[in-house]
Amino acid sequence: MSGQPVGASAASSSHRGERGHEFESYFPESGSVDMSDPSTDIDETTYAELRELASRYPQPRSALLPMLHLVQSVDGRVSPKGIEACAEVLGITTAQVSGVATFYTMYKRRPAGTHHVGVCTTALCAVMGGDVLLETASRHLGIGVDETTPDGRISLERIECNAACDFAPVMMVNWEFMDDMTPEKAVALLDDLRDGNEVRSTRGATLTSWREAERVLAGFPDGRADEGPSAGPQSLLGLQIAKDKGWAAPGDEKPTGDGVVGRVAHRIADAVREVAGVGGDHEAQPASGSSSDAQAHAPATAETPQGKAPSKPRRRTTKPGEGTAK
Ligand code: FES
């Protein structure tokens, strides 16, 4: 794959011809951090920010993931100096830092481009044309997967499912979504990125550079968090159908849907109440959207910057008639 556009290899074409499409997990970056390039821009300011991140957590090592994003925002990759700096600030070994940095695919061993482009080729995106998008992008840029254009403007990556299957096939630019892509849209997008034109995610956000996006992921907001809608119509379709039909979660409201569906909904709601033995009550539900968002952005440890470990959702124990869930 390396050194030539995706799909250019005769061997790969014949392989596909014989066996048809095969879905493969793609995690090529499973090696160690590249220690052969010692270049770095990490300075005292970076150290101060790394220390600030560490101070946000009761256990400083909980800050390692955002700290690695900060390293990437400064050095364009996880650099040897970045690993050293994280280890020094956290009081852990460079092997421990390296072990984390090489586990997650968002941490790069080689410099990403000014813009980092990902193309999803997991099942649903593949079915909807993800492989064609990747081949188109690769051919148009003249680079293979995990490579960067000679001018350093764009790097290309094959990505696994980005949980945006309802907008398949999707591409990512600097971790912002580009939904419902086609080869034509992909070429126009890449040309805009290469020419330095302003580009907006299909969800509204103005694209910054990959390094700027990494700084935001590190925990230094750029004030753009509210640009664009948080969920598109495709993701909200089920909710809309439920509203149109008058469906509601058991205990929230009596379903009012008509016909067979409405009657089934009534029965399910009654059965759930009976099994739970809580009459009109039900377990507390997380506030719509906020919980999943919080989980998606929570550090992969047992702590939060607020210093409190997220507790397991607790089952309500109210007896029949003892108030209602919020
Ligand atoms: S398969 Fe591409 S976002 Fe899920």
CATH of the domain at 155: 3.40.30.10
pLDDT at 323: 36
Q: Is 121 in the pocket of ligand 1 (CB under 6 A)?
A: no
* Cα–Cα distance measured from residue 220 to residue 62, given in angstroms and rounded to the nearest whole number: 16
Q: Same domain, yes or no, for 126 and 186?
A: yes
| Residue 325 CA to ligand 1 centre (angstroms) | 35
Residue at token pair 């607790």? 314
- Is residue 143 within 6 Å of ligand 1 at its C-beta? no
Co-location of 19 and 155 in the same domain: yes
Q: Which domain holds residue 130?
A: 10-23+114-211
Looking at the domain assignment, is residue 60 inside a domain? yes
If asked whether residues 19 and 129 sit together in one domain, one would say yes
From ligand 1's centre to the CA of 167, what distance in Å? 8
Mutational pocket test of ligand 1: of 122, 131, 175, 176, the residue with most ligand atoms within 8 Å of the beta carbon = 122
Q: Report yes or no on 65 lying in a domain.
A: yes
Q: At what angle do helices 210-218 and 64-75 cross, to 10 degrees?
A: 160
C-alpha to C-alpha distance for 272 and 264, rounded to whole angstroms = 12
Q: From start to end of 135-187, where are the E strands?
A: 147-148, 154-159, 171-173, 176-178
185 found inside a domain = yes
> Same domain, yes or no, for 153 and 266?
no
What is the reported pLDDT for 300? Answer: 38
CATH number at residue 52: 1.10.10
Whether 122 and 264 map to the same domain: the answer is no
**What's the 125 CA to ligand 1 centre distance in angstroms?**
5
Same-domain status, 16 and 146: yes
Note whether 315 and 283 are within 8 A (CB): yes
What's the angle, vertex CA 68, arms to CA 65 and CA 73, rounded to 5? 130
| Ligand 1 binding pocket includes 164 (Cβ within 6 Å) | yes
Residue with the two structure tokens 């009761």 = 58
Strand order in the sheet with 171-173: 147-148, 154-159, 115-120, 171-173, 176-178
SS3 state at 137 = helix
What pLDDT, on the 0 to 100 scale, is given for residue 40?
A: 96
Question: Is position 322 within any domain?
Answer: no
On whether residue 187 sits in a domain, the answer given is yes
CA–centroid distance, residue 124 to ligand 1 (Å): 6
Q: Given this model, what pLDDT does residue 31 score? A: 60
Q: Which of 23, 25, 26, 125 to mutate to test the pocket of ligand 1 (most atoms within 8 A of CB)?
A: 125
Q: 130 in a domain, yes or no?
A: yes
- Reading phi first (left if > 0) and then psi (alpha if -120 to 50, else beta), residue 76 is in left
Q: How many CA atoms lie within 13 A of 258 on its CB side?
A: 1
CA of 130 to the centre of ligand 1 (A): 9
Task: State if residue 126 touches ligand 1 by the CB under 6 angstroms criterion.
Answer: no
Do 15 and 136 fall within a single domain? yes
Helix axes 94-101, 80-90, angle to 10 degrees: 120
124 lines ligand 1 (CB under 6 A): yes
pLDDT at 257: 52
82-86: long-range contacts, CB 8 A cutoff, minimum separation 24:
82/40, 82/42, 83/33, 85/42, 85/46, 85/47, 85/50, 86/50
Question: In this structure, are 153 and 18 located in the same domain?
Answer: yes
Binned average pLDDT, 10 residues per bin, the chain of 326 residues: 56 45 58 79 98 97 98 96 97 94 91 96 96 97 95 96 93 95 98 96 91 96 80 82 89 57 63 58 37 37 42 38 35
The CB of 162 under 6 Å from ligand 1? The reply is: yes
What is the sign, positive or negative, of the torsion defined by CA atoms of 218, 219, 222, 226? Answer: positive
Task: Among 258, 276, 294, identify where a domain stops.
Answer: 276
The Cα–Cα gap between 134 and 140 comes to: 10
For the chain, how many structural domains are there in total?
Answer: 3
Name residue, tokens 């925002």: 73
The verdict on 131 and 187 lying in the same domain is yes
- In the block, tokens 């907006």 appear at 200
- Does a structural domain hold residue 323? no
Same domain assignment for residues 127 and 73: no
Of 169, 161, 173, 181, the residue nearest 117 (C-alpha): 173
Alpha-carbon gap, residue 157 to 44, rounded angstroms: 32
- Indicate if 17 and 165 belong to the same structural domain: yes
For residues 118 and 156, state if they share a domain: yes
120 in ligand 1 pocket by Cβ < 6 Å? yes
**For residue 251, what pLDDT is reported?**
75
Q: How far is the CA of 277 from the centre of ligand 1 (A)?
A: 39
Q: Which atom of ligand 1 is nearest to the CA of 169?
A: 2
3-state secondary structure of 176: strand
How many A from CA of 122 to the centre of ligand 1?
Answer: 6
* 108 in any annotated domain: no
